[in-house]
Amino acid sequence: MPAPIIKIDAISKSFGTFKVLDGLSMQVMPGEKLALIGPSGSGKTTILRILMTLEKIDGGHIQVDGEQLYHMERNGQLLPADERHLARMRQKIGMVFQLFNLFPHKCVMDNVTLAPMLTKGVARAAAEKRAMELLDMVGLADKAKAMPAQLSGGQKQRVAIARALALSPKIMLFDEVTSALDPELVEEVLNVMRKLAAETDMTMLLVTHEMGFAHDFADRVLFFDRGRIVEEGKPDEIFRHPKQERTQSFLKKIIAAGHRV
Amino acid sequence: MTQWSGYLGLILQGALVTIELTLMGSVLALIMAFLAGMGRVSRFFILRAIATAYIEFFRGTSIFVQLFWAYFVLPFAGLSLTPLQAGVLALGLNVGAYAAEVVRGAILSVGREQYEACTALNLGRWQGMRHVILPQALLVMLPTFGNNAIELLKATSVVSLISLADLTFQAQVVRSQTGSTLMPFLSVLITYFALALIISWGVRTLERRMARGLDGVRI
């Protein structure tokens, strides 16, 4: 049995007086495709943001790829991570946001090549070659010179995926990546993610309200409520035979809202 | 008539001095604005403190007094400036203090999601500022920079008080030599206005060029 690539150990996080995560622990295996579902405010997005170091934790430990994320080991002691340690750890992780967060003043190509050139010292020619491969993979090779404002939401999100992949992370975080899209554009983004899952052994964590996609895509589904994992299991167990009453009522509401499970 | 063309020549010479002051003052103001504006949003307390002190001091004291200090008081500290140097120094520092707040506001106006994208792509603080935040903030700064430049143009007239032969100074010369009040004052009025129009037009052109291809909603 290989070691987990992400090991979250009793982390807690509050926003003001609101406790989002309360002693949460979970593990993710290398290559695993994990879906995090649950009502809004249940803490699932916060976990992704914490892994991307966009939020600090109040307590607990996180291990990513065998190393502490928020701590450094110095002479056998665990110290709070400094910016250099965080920068090194961030290389292992990429994230795609709900609202794409493309750089509006840069063309598609520059959006994808900026970080590899700046953070890894990749030469422009090599970075552009790699970017073209990635844009081809997401079906946007012909849009390399377009500005983000000229793209549809689905196209923007596919560029954002290519941009994150350009840094070759071991772990990809997808934070409600189709929630801001028009319904007819959702599928083109999901197709890219299916392709990615089929062609790479990347570890993928996915926060989503697309239950049908989570069912087909994930190896394991975690149901969150109020900062805790209420239930977890294989997609069929969670979606067809949920054991907890809280999971059942959540899924019922989702189906009533017209989502396919 | 030949007499008038001679006086017109005087006024044009003054206009050149005014343009020179405006250009050089604007360059200094721009440098100070970015230094102090970015100092204001620095994570280091000492940089924030220095930037704040500079901005408050130069906004809070009169441009006349600043100019007199630059020209009459600094020599006592061993620093003698020509009238032009003193004028550029006072104008640049004064307008730079106002423009620094523009830089700060524009940097803060760039959405949090852009900073988060920088973190997710592992860009360092300075890399993100240089390649992502500042280029977008610049577009927000431009219209107000245009205002600041026009303010600076008009403020150049104070240098006539340290006997620098700018537009306003030359108008006084022509007036005292010809006894005519309307002609010299009318011509400097029109000249200032024309120069301000050129600045407005230049900034607007720059703005349009930079906004090309961007989401219109952000401006």
Q: Which residues of B touch A87 (CB under 8 A)?
A: 122, 124
Q: Is B216 a residue whose pLDDT tops 50?
A: no
- Domain membership flag for residue A222: no
pTM equals 0.87
pLDDT of residue B150: 97
Positions in chain A short of pLDDT 70: 258-261
User: Is residue B121 less than 8 Å (CB to CB) from chain A?
Assistant: yes
- Residue whose pair of structure tokens reads 């600076």 in the numeric block: B152
User: Is residue B117 less than 8 Å (CB to CB) from chain A?
Assistant: yes
Of B119, B127, B214, the CB nearest to A52: B119
Classify the complex by whether its ipTM is higher than 0.85, answering yes or no: yes
User: Is residue A167 less than 8 Å (CB to CB) from chain B?
Assistant: yes
pLDDT of residue A192: 94
Binary contact (B131, A95; C-beta < 8 A): no
Measured distance CA(A116)–CA(A130) in Å, rounded: 10
CATH number at residue B139: 1.10.3720.10
Q: Is B82 a residue whose pLDDT tops 80?
A: yes
pLDDT of residue A2: 83
Please give, rounded to a whole number of angstroms, the shortest distance from the CA of B168 to a CA of chain A.
Answer: 43
What is the per-residue pLDDT across B190-211, written as a single tens digit (0 to 9) for each? 999 999 999 999 999 999 888 8
- Residue whose pair of structure tokens reads 């795609």 in the numeric block: A96
Best interface-test mutation with B: which of A85, A103, A134, A157 has the largest number of B CBs within 10 A? A103
Count of the separate structural domains present in chain A: 1
B213 lies in which domain range?
A: 2-218
Best interface-test mutation with A: which of B109, B116, B122 has the largest number of A CBs within 10 A? B122
- Distance of CA B67 to CAs A21, B13, B128, B188, Å? 59, 22, 38, 22
Of B113, B122, B139, the CB nearest to A101: B113
- How many other C-beta atoms are found inside a 10 Å radius of the C-beta of residue A66? 10
Measured distance CA(B5)–CA(B199) in Å, rounded: 27
- Distance of CA B110 to CAs A32, A124, B26, B47, Å? 36, 27, 25, 21
pLDDT of residue A79: 87
- Domain membership flag for residue A128: yes
User: Is residue A114 less than 8 Å (CB to CB) from chain B?
Assistant: yes
Binary contact (B119, A167; C-beta < 8 A): no
| Residue B68 confidence class, pLDDT cut points 50, 70, 90 | very high
Q: Which residues of A touch B131 (CB under 8 A)?
A: 114, 118
User: Is residue B75 less than 8 Å (CB to CB) from chain A?
Assistant: no
Q: Are A195 and A242 in contact (CB under 8 A)?
A: no
Looking at residue B132, the DSSP 8-state letter turns out to be I
- How many other C-beta atoms are found inside a 10 Å radius of the C-beta of residue A232? 16
pLDDT of residue B215: 57
A150 lies in which domain range?
A: 107-168
Of A53, A90, A105, the CB nearest to B136: A105
User: Is residue A54 less than 8 Å (CB to CB) from chain B?
Assistant: yes
Give the residue on A whose Cα is nearest the Cα of B134: A105
Phi, psi of B43 (to 5 degrees): -85, -5
What is the per-residue pLDDT across B83-126, written as a single tens digit (0 to 9) for each? 999 999 999 999 999 999 999 999 999 999 999 999 999 999 99
Bridge partner list, A220: A34
Measured distance CA(A171)–CA(B139) in Å, rounded: 35
> Chain B, 35-54: which have a CB under 8 Å from a chain A CB?
none
pLDDT of residue A76: 81
> Which residues lie closer than 8 Å to B76 by C-beta, 6 or more apart?
none
What is the per-residue pLDDT across B173-186, written as a single tens digit (0 to 9) for each? 999 988 888 989 99
Q: Are B114 and A100 in contact (CB under 8 A)?
A: no
pLDDT of residue B218: 44
User: Is residue B122 less than 8 Å (CB to CB) from chain A?
Assistant: yes
- Domain membership flag for residue A79: no
Binary contact (B117, A114; C-beta < 8 A): no
What is the per-residue pLDDT across B132-142, written as a single tens digit (0 to 9) for each? 999 999 999 99
- Domain membership flag for residue A24: no
User: Is residue B131 less than 8 Å (CB to CB) from chain A?
Assistant: yes
Q: Are A72 and A85 in contact (CB under 8 A)?
A: yes
- Domain membership flag for residue A120: yes
Of B124, B131, B215, the CB nearest to A104: B215
From start to end of chain A, where are the E strands?
6-15, 18-28, 33-37, 59-64, 67-68, 71-74, 77-80, 93-96, 171-175, 203-207, 220-225, 228-233
Q: Which residues of A touch B216 (CB under 8 A)?
A: 149
User: Is residue B123 less than 8 Å (CB to CB) from chain A?
Assistant: yes
Measured distance CA(B43)–CA(B45) in Å, rounded: 6
Our CA dihedral for A120, A175, B130, B91, rounded to 10 degrees, sits at -170
Q: Report the residue count for chain A.
A: 261
What is the per-residue pLDDT across B147-178, written as a single tens digit (0 to 9) for each? 999 999 999 999 988 989 999 999 999 999 88
Best interface-test mutation with A: which of B43, B121, B141, B219 has the largest number of A CBs within 10 A? B121
Please give, rounded to a whole number of angstroms, the shortest distance from the CA of A199 to a CA of chain B.
Answer: 22
Phi, psi of A70 (to 5 degrees): -100, 5
pLDDT of residue A45: 94
